[in-house]
Amino acid sequence: AQSVTQLGSHVSVSEGALVLLRCNYSSSVPPYLFWYVQYPNQGLQLLLKYTTGATLVKGINGFEAEFKKSETSFHLTKPSAHMSDAAEYFCAVRNSGGYQKVTFGIGTKLQVIP
């Protein structure tokens, strides 16, 4: 069975500070990994994804994440937080085999303090 753990359901950072949102996963086969963002009263939209190849992936709005197989992690970072980054962020894992179940973490609400 696959699972996702997001450490910290709420994270607060100052505007201009580093954003680090943690995600650890478990999967019995090589995973596909995703970060989604949800702005208030909206659906989820893709920030970035890892499928194969380069382990450091860049997404929209200056976010990036690094797939570390040895640590089973896929942490999301952004060097400098903007007020517009305030949202809820979800990490998700999808099995790369024929079984297409997707599992989401519980989400991390990011607060950006002026």
Partner 1 sequence: EAQVTQNPRYLITVTGKKLTVTCSQNMNHEYMSWYRQDPGLGLRQIYYSMNVEVTDKGDVPEGYKVSRKEKRNFPLILESPSPNQTSLYFCASSSNSGQGLEQYFGPGTRLTVT
Question: Which residues of the chain form contacts with partner 1 (CB under 8 A)?
Answer: 6, 9, 32, 34, 36, 42-46, 49, 51, 90, 94, 100-107
- Which is closer to partner 1, CB of 8 or CB of 16? 8
Could you tell me the smallest distance in angstroms from the CB atom of residue 14 to partner 1? Answer: 25
Largest CA distance in the chain: 46
Burial of 106 (0-12, 13-18, 19+ CB in 10 A): exposed
- Which is closer to partner 1, CB of 18 or CB of 106? 106
- Which is closer to partner 1, CB of 59 or CB of 62? 59
Could you tell me the smallest distance in angstroms from the CB atom of residue 68 to partner 1? Answer: 20
| Contact call for residues 38 and 87 (beta carbons, < 8 A) | yes
Could you tell me the smallest distance in angstroms from the CB atom of residue 98 to partner 1? Answer: 9
| Contact call for residues 112 and 15 (beta carbons, < 8 A) | yes
- Which is closer to partner 1, CB of 64 or CB of 104? 104
User: N- to C-terminal Cα distance for the chain?
Assistant: 41
Could you tell me the smallest distance in angstroms from the CB atom of residue 20 to partner 1? Answer: 19
What the block records as the tokens of 78 is: 């952004």
| Contact call for residues 89 and 36 (beta carbons, < 8 A) | yes
